[in-house]
Structure 1
């Protein structure tokens, strides 16, 4: 097999992997639900906040198909909703059965409306509680349940991120090292960037021209990997600093911006970054715009931790772990993509096919996302 054939296959493989990553992309924020448990003597009080958009996706609550959920539509299906939710949550292997103590309510949050279920489960005193959380396991592999559990005598809450596909987990209420040890949100940060297809697509758009240099109006490959890696490191560093700032500001609720603004803005950053690969529209100031765009993407990473209402010290640690996870996932994406592009840089069809073709594909996909997010409609069957 010739080197030209190898590069062609590598190029098509790269484009196929990229398409596979972005085509199933969700058009909106990652799916989260909030589960709060409070232990009092021989009972557990439970509050469960579930996004209506997620419930609609699995139960088709929008009876008149007008893309809006009314309280009447939700109320009409409350029995189905409660049956579905409780059918995907088991406490202490089914020995602690939650029962409703207050009527369900709808609460508006910055990222949309949530159904609030408030329940109580008689449960014998024990040092540990088994939780089998499987909400949306069958329809959304990206979903996570954010657990906040606190015993009556405990000074600080215990935190966990519940993966519906991971099986039952055991949390310790008191008298255990696990109860005192803060939960790690490092894996959640990695998970968040890896399912953030719009963030990944933005990074790839930044990477595509990194292995080339424009000379006399023509693209030529860089001679050494360092010629691509060091400039790219500067751009990614600016992006990282920026989104770390806004992630912290949003998580601390110092600055809050609705996803209705942020999600379309993220799509616009992808369009601009991709267009700049075809015809310079950013005036050669890619580091500056990487920083400015990173500020927008940081708000896209935020949200979930702020809803947990943690003590300051615990929140700071969780935020640091989450951000480190985001950076680790981002570094993995950049490293793999840059290595592949370096291997393709001498291919004569790289500029027209990979750089221009890939950028145009990114423009098209990001434009569809923009329309979906602005108009709140579904245009792609897989989004």
Structure 2
């Protein structure tokens, strides 16, 4: 039998709930042909549906006072199941506000939408987001209980909800973890930066990449690029998360792939020598918009959102610096050897292929075998880093040994 689902988003002073109700069950309970005639359902019966749900949703504080309930946006979803055929579901956004001074984390949930008539029905209640306890919408919802008929006593028992206490520190650390996870899984973000850094240790002579520029030159150049990228994506992360700047996801994702293509071309031949920091900052603005969509989806209040922006950005920077710190020393060591030209061109070529594959995927909306291959290869990145380190050490040792041999 299809069950209803209640997903709770816990805020400091309210709970936002999403109800997912199968229309076939709602039709049996409510008496209206909501499943047989689902087309234009919200337009036809929206006010009546909201009034019906309010009658059957009654959160209650421990002191006996009931919460204020308001039903917002209603949406009908339809899917095709090869076993059961067409499945239709109503999604309702509900806001539940406790009386003044009452804790949102402890209440009794009186809820019997559909169940008051369809006695075999079940309601699965889960917490989808609880920022103060570190539960984010990115993770799987945590089930807190089930509402169903008590067959022995023939009554519907309310669900007592007592959520563990949280803190802003827990929410902040969860966002730091989310930021590190986001950049670790963001192959395109890291690839842009790493490919842009490929020629960073090299000097430009006659519009071509030349020899190693020295440790001081290389570190200064790398620091400028990384700092510029950080400033760029931090700015748009802030603006996007606060809702002040919004762009559709598709053009942003396409521009991110284009940024990799540009950095790959620059790694082959200098397109903007000495101005890499400006390019990193400019494309960083685009990458920041992609980061911001993750925070915007959390729909947090102002205080938690401010801490989330800080924590998420800090997580991104920590993981970014870790990966760059692990890769750059070996690239600098290799850049002293003649073999680095092959490494640089190979890296640029592979990055360009990946970028073109992402552009096609993000324009068409269809994955291709190249992008799937990139994700599979990315999972072996730690082994690739080990190979890079061994190659750098071996070639440096061989070059040093050759330079020490006497000339016959």
Q: TM-score range by the shorter chain?
A: 0.5 to 0.7
In structure 1, distance between residues paired with 2:84 and 2:249: 28
Map 1:201-220 onto structure 2 (within 5 A): 201-216=191-206, 217=208, 219-220=210-211
1:34-85 alpha-carbon deviations (Å, 9 max, x no partner): 953469xxxx985279xxxxxxxxxxxxxxxxxxxxx99942239889x9xx
- The 1:377–1:348 alpha-carbon spacing in structure 2 relative to 1, beyond 3 Å, is same
User: Structure 1 residue 104 and structure 2 residue 90: aligned?
Assistant: yes
Is the contact between residue 127 and residue 143 of structure 2 (CA under 8 Å) also seen in structure 1?
no
Matched with 2:183 is 193
Q: 1:183 aligns with which of 143, 163, 171?
A: 171
Q: 1:76 aligns with which of 61, 76, 80?
A: 80
Matched with 2:345 is 356
In structure 2, distance between residues paired with 1:258 and 1:80: 35
Is the contact between residue 146 and residue 161 of structure 1 (CA under 8 Å) also seen in structure 2?
no
- The 1:223–1:307 alpha-carbon spacing in structure 2 relative to 1, beyond 3 Å, is closer
Is the contact between residue 9 and residue 127 of structure 2 (CA under 8 Å) also seen in structure 1?
no
Secondary structure, counterpart of 2:135 in structure 1: strand
Post-superposition shift, 1:215? 3.3
Is the contact between residue 259 and residue 300 of structure 1 (CA under 8 Å) also seen in structure 2?
yes
Structure 1 length-normalised TM: 0.59
In structure 2, distance between residues paired with 1:198 and 1:313: 31
1:75-111 alpha-carbon deviations (Å, 9 max, x no partner): 2239889x9xxxxxxxxxxxxxxxxxx9335xxxxxx
Aligned residue pairs, count: 267
Post-superposition shift, 1:244? 0.4
Matched with 1:300 is 290
Matched with 1:245 is 235
1:96-144 alpha-carbon deviations (Å, 9 max, x no partner): xxxxxx9335xxxxxxxxxx899xxxxxx9969xxxxxxxxxxxxxxxx
In structure 1, distance between residues paired with 2:363 and 2:128: 31
Q: 1:369 aligns with which of 345, 358, 370?
A: 358
Is the contact between residue 222 and residue 345 of structure 1 (CA under 8 Å) also seen in structure 2?
no
In structure 1, distance between residues paired with 2:274 and 2:368: 34
CA-atom RMSD in angstroms = 4.2
Map 1:101-250 onto structure 2 (within 5 A): 103-105=89-91, 147-149=128-130, 160-161=135-136, 177-178=165-166, 181-184=169-172, 185-216=175-206, 217=208, 219-224=210-215, 226-250=216-240
Secondary structure, counterpart of 1:372 in structure 2: helix
Post-superposition shift, 1:326? 0.7
Higher relative contact order structure (alpha carbons within 8 Å, sequence separation ≥ 6)? 1
- The 1:309–1:79 alpha-carbon spacing in structure 2 relative to 1, beyond 3 Å, is farther
- The 1:73–1:180 alpha-carbon spacing in structure 2 relative to 1, beyond 3 Å, is closer
Q: Is there any run of 5+ residues in structure 2 with no aligned partner, and where?
A: 1-5, 21-74, 95-103, 108-125, 145-160, 376-408
User: Structure 1 residue 321 and structure 2 residue 311: aligned?
Assistant: yes
Matched with 2:3 is none
In structure 2, distance between residues paired with 1:222 and 1:208: 13
In structure 2, distance between residues paired with 1:192 and 1:330: 10
Structure 2 length-normalised TM: 0.56
Matched with 1:36 is 8
1:239-273 alpha-carbon deviations (Å, 9 max, x no partner): 10010010111111111111111000000011011
- The 1:357–1:312 alpha-carbon spacing in structure 2 relative to 1, beyond 3 Å, is same
Post-superposition shift, 1:283? 5.6
In structure 1, distance between residues paired with 2:197 and 2:79: 48
Secondary structure, counterpart of 2:300 in structure 1: coil
